[in-house]
Chain A
Amino acid sequence: MEMTSPLHDSEAFVGELRDCAKLLSDKLNGDDIEGASKLIEQLLEVRDRNIFNQVGQLTRGLHSALCNFSIDDGLTKEPPEMPSSENQNASENINYVIELTQKAADKTMDMVEASAPIALSLGQEAATLREEWARMKRREMTADEFRDVYQRVDDFFGQMNSGTAELNKNLQNIILEQGFQDLTGQVLKRVISLVKGVEENLVSLVRIAGQVEEITGLVDTADTEGKQNSVSTTAADIEAEGPQINADKRDDVVSGQDEVDDLLSSLGF
């Protein structure tokens, strides 16, 4: 969102205006009507040019705010050539949030659906065995029946062992899936800062429109606060960027843990 200060431009504009006004008054006093009307034309031209300049600056500012949303180039480079849909990055970001929340919800439900039958069957088997056990304690069991129960208890221990291991794994995976909250949160923070950038630029547009009136004396001084804080981020060495939306389409980004490991081992780690 690099913008040259509109304030500076308008100071130059006001200066030019004053010079012209002085000349105009001189010419009128000297009855040089033709010269005076030429000056008035010149004055209008200067004013128009000033407005065009400022609107141009603003358009550029808005454009870079949208371009920066893609984060690729940081804040230091010129925004790329205006593509037909610079909002694409914004919608890609939002789509990434939808995709990630959907995936997390699906996976979490898959895990629960895989776990429920395990818990159910362990519970049922435990209930049956408990009944059998009670019968045995009451000595209502034949030797053959006991042999059967004996085997079932043995099997049950096996089932318990593998079943609880599976449940534990699924529970851990459910926890892990909640990582979407972090990743989507980072992306949404980026969306919020885009919206802020656009808003600040719109405020500048309103201010520029106001300046014209201010100069013509129709309106009191437009508020200038907040003017400087639209361009506060300086790109220091390497900046954090959050999740990469199109990792598979980019060369400068790794697409998974394997590539991280390869890169680090190529560096001797």
Chain B
Amino acid sequence: MKILIVDDFSTMRRIIKNLLRDLGFTNTQEADDGLTALPMLKSGDFDFLVTDWNMPGMTGIDLLKAVRADDKLSATPVLMVTAEAKRDQIIEAAQAGVNGYVVKPFTAQALKEKIDKIFIRVDG
């Protein structure tokens, strides 16, 4: 399982990386915004994308839309981990095809739950 973690704050990338490692996912890579993430996704056969929303360059929501619009990437599960907490935003993300939405600050338990849920659905 190869996972791409996208967040403009390196601290948050490390946190997510650590939590994922704790859950048994050790094959992770990082990008600091959508513009760097998208080419990595296109050339890297990632199985899972974890992204922030609010980033300079290309935001997470735009990255999500770009992923869904790309023939090769459209089926990639996407988990959004973000401080964006407006109802409109969550609905927007859902409509854009997000697979899970975790608001910061989050617990290890919340992250694990969402990931488990995504993979049960993807596998099933």
Whether A257 and B83, one on each chain, are in contact in the complex, defined by CB atoms closer than 8 angstroms, is no
Give the residues in chain A near B106, CB-CB below 8 Å. 176, 179, 257
Q: Which of B105-120 contact A (CB under 8 A)?
A: 105-108, 110
B74 at the interface (CB under 8 A from A): no
Give the residues in chain B near A50, CB-CB below 8 Å. none
Distance of A166 Cα from B75 Cα, bound (Å)? 38
Q: List 17 A-B contacts (CB under 8 A).
A: A172-B18, A172-B22, A173-B108, A175-B18, A176-B108, A182-B11, A183-B105, A240-B53, A241-B84, A242-B54, A243-B83, A243-B85, A243-B104, A253-B87, A255-B85, A267-B91, A267-B94
A112 to chain B, nearest CB (A): 17
B59 at the interface (CB under 8 A from A): yes
Interface string of B52-73 (1 = CB under 8 A from A): 0111000101000000000000
Give the residues in chain B near A237, CB-CB below 8 Å. 92
Give the size category of A's interface with B: 20 to 34
Give the residues in chain B near A164, CB-CB below 8 Å. none
Count of A-B residue pairs with CB < 8 Å = 98
Give the residues in chain A near B9, CB-CB below 8 Å. 181-182, 185-186
Give the residues in chain B near A252, CB-CB below 8 Å. 86-88
Q: Which of A165-188 contact B (CB under 8 A)?
A: 172-173, 175-176, 178-183, 185-186
B7 at the interface (CB under 8 A from A): yes
Distance of A257 Cα from B106 Cα, bound (Å)? 8
Distance of A269 Cα from B101 Cα, bound (Å)? 11
Q: Which of B1-46 contact A (CB under 8 A)?
A: 7, 9, 11-12, 14-15, 18-19, 22
Give the residues in chain A near B78, CB-CB below 8 Å. none
Whether A254 and B103, one on each chain, are in contact in the complex, defined by CB atoms closer than 8 angstroms, is yes
Interface string of A204-240 (1 = CB under 8 A from B): 0000000000000000000000000000000001101
A256 at the interface (CB under 8 A from B): yes
- On whether A256 and B11 interact (CB within 8 A), knowing A247-B85, A267-B94, the answer reads no
Give the residues in chain B near A253, CB-CB below 8 Å. 85-87
Whether A179 and B12, one on each chain, are in contact in the complex, defined by CB atoms closer than 8 angstroms, is yes
Residue of chain B at shortest CB distance from A244: B85
A264 at the interface (CB under 8 A from B): yes
Residue of chain B at shortest CB distance from A185: B9
Distance of A243 Cα from B85 Cα, bound (Å)? 7
Give the residues in chain B near A127, CB-CB below 8 Å. none
Known A-B contacts: A179-B11, A242-B84. Give 20 more (CB < 8 A).
A175-B15, A179-B105, A181-B12, A183-B83, A186-B9, A186-B54, A238-B89, A240-B61, A240-B84, A241-B54, A243-B83, A243-B104, A244-B85, A254-B85, A254-B90, A254-B103, A257-B107, A260-B101, A263-B90, A264-B90
- On whether A182 and B107 interact (CB within 8 A), knowing A172-B22, A257-B102, A264-B94, the answer reads no
Q: Which 5 A-B pairs have the closest CB atoms?
A: A240-B54, A182-B9, A181-B11, A182-B12, A243-B83
A216 to chain B, nearest CB (A): 44
Give the residues in chain B near A267, CB-CB below 8 Å. 91, 94
Give the residues in chain A near B91, CB-CB below 8 Å. 263, 267
Residue of chain A at shortest CB distance from B22: A172
A268 to chain B, nearest CB (A): 9
Residue of chain A at shortest CB distance from B91: A267
Distance of A183 Cα from B7 Cα, bound (Å)? 12
Whether B53 and A179, one on each chain, are in contact in the complex, defined by CB atoms closer than 8 angstroms, is no
B75 to chain A, nearest CB (A): 17
Give the residues in chain B near A257, CB-CB below 8 Å. 102-103, 106-107, 110
Residue of chain B at shortest CB distance from A103: B105
